[in-house]
Amino acid sequence: MSIEDDVTLLERVPTLRLLGTDALRMLAIGSEQRAVARGAMLFKAGDEADAGFVVQRGAFRIENGAGAETIAGPGALIGELALIVAMARPSSAIALEQSSVIRVARSLFQRVLENDPAAARRLRDAFASRSSQIASDILMAGAKLSI
């Protein structure tokens, strides 16, 4: 894929779209592409999380070890929080078919944010809004459970 194809794919990711085209171009140039064979693990729970992955093609099953799972296909961002903070992976990702991803290293992501303060503010505001919504949802669920 060309850099422009990668930018177009990154623009499909709601979180990354907030950064703007120039920042996405920097991410596309600095990121690496990886092929992942069917049945192979992209990462496993407990691994050090130092990057996020955008699915280019194929699909991954994301398992949290407690029975919850989801499927991530093209345009999905896997490991979003790893772009912001050092942590252990809370889940595993297994390729369901021959797949490919764009690996975005946390160090690259942070450099892009440092070079574009407006993009960093947009991302901060989006995370704050999502956190507020999650807190509200938890309160609503708790209220329903105590009835």
Structure tokens at 139: 């309160």
Residues 80-135 have pLDDT tens digits of 999 999 999 999 999 999 999 999 999 999 999 999 998 888 888 887 877 777 77
pLDDT of residue 124: 84
DSSP 8-class letter at 19 = T
Task: Please compute the mean of the pLDDT values over residues 60-80 and round it to a whole number.
Answer: 91
Tally of domains within the chain: 1
The CATH number of whichever domain residue 104 belongs to comes to: 2.60.120.10
Q: Determine the Cα–Cα distance for residues 144 and 142; give it in Å rounded to an integer.
A: 5
What confidence tens digit (pLDDT) does each residue in 6-24 have? 999 999 999 899 999 999 9
| CA distance linking residue 34 with residue 31, whole number of Å | 10
The whole domain housing 51 covers: 3-145
Name which of 35, 76, 39, 34 is nearest 54 in CA terms: 76
pTM of the complete model: 0.85
